Amino acid sequence: MFWLRGVSLGLILLFAAPFAALAHDDADTRASEESRAVIAGNLGRMPWKPMFDGSWDGWSQRAAGGAFEAVTGAPDGWEVVGEDGIVGDNRSGSTALAFGEPSWRNVELSARVTPLAGGNAAIMFRIDEDGDGWYTFDLMLGWQVAAIYKLERNDEGSMELTKLSTVNYALSRDREYDVQIAARDHSITTYIDGELVNQLTDDTWPRGRVALNIWHAKTQYRNLRYRVLDEN
């Protein structure tokens, strides 16, 4: 399980009220292969960089003491699929794999995400190194929404969840979604299959690693990519 100072992620997944979800064409179950391949700014051209290419280099998990430790072999509950795919499977608990640096602030993430079983397919970002909180993007199949929420540890030591953006979105298992998350200073936006979905401002958690999260589910992630916009 992925525990943060004694609290399991599975205990803090709360859900928004359901409404009629937006309709999307499910005829093609595989997302298109490219969008915004290269952007440019004051730091020059910024192409996507791969997060996973068959190697666990750069990936980590929290140890029992709370510190991040490098992944040296295939972690329990995870398997490599193809050249750039990872499948996480934990039907009775939670597991997560982290990537990146604690200094990451202005970051874009891109992933092809396929929910295979269970009710959630999630990506965490700006994870606090002390385990006191983070943001989560969650494809919530039961409620048919795409959500952004934040977790914060309160004065009593418990984790509190605050929903920041919940958008009705028709979701199905065994369909691949092209997910992009952009965290730029106070601005957080998400896109699914090239369409803007979530848009909000919040700066509770200013920086941190990112992670793939499984909670009572099975999810495939492939073509995982990132770019750090304020990288020197």
What pLDDT shows up at residue 232? 47
Residue 96: half-sphere exposure toward Cβ, Cα within 13 Å: 27
First and final C-alpha spacing in the chain: 35
The answer to whether 151 and 163 have CB atoms below 8 angstroms apart is no
> Given phi > 0 = left and psi -120 to 50 = alpha, else beta, which region is 142?
alpha
Task: Give yes or no for a contact between 86 and 95, defined as CB atoms under 8 angstroms apart.
Answer: no
156 Cβ neighbours under 8 A, 6+ residues apart: none
Report the candidate in 102, 106, 158 with the shortest Cα–Cα distance to residue 127.
102
In order of start, what are the domains of the chain with their CATH numbers? 3-15+39-228 (2.60.120.560)
Distance set, CA 107 to CA 118, 169, 185 (Å): 28, 24, 9
Q: Residue 82 in contact with residue 30, Cβ under 8 Å?
A: no
pLDDT digits (tens, 9 = 90+) for 41-61: 666 677 899 999 998 999 998
Residue ranges in the chain modelled with pLDDT below 70? 1-44, 65, 231-232
pLDDT of residue 47: 83
Q: Are 58 and 100 in contact (CB under 8 A)?
A: yes
Q: CA–CA separation, 160 vs 171, rounded Å?
A: 26
Amino acid identity of residue 98, one-letter, is A
Residue located via tokens 């401002």: 201
Q: Which residues pair with 167 in a beta bridge?
A: 146
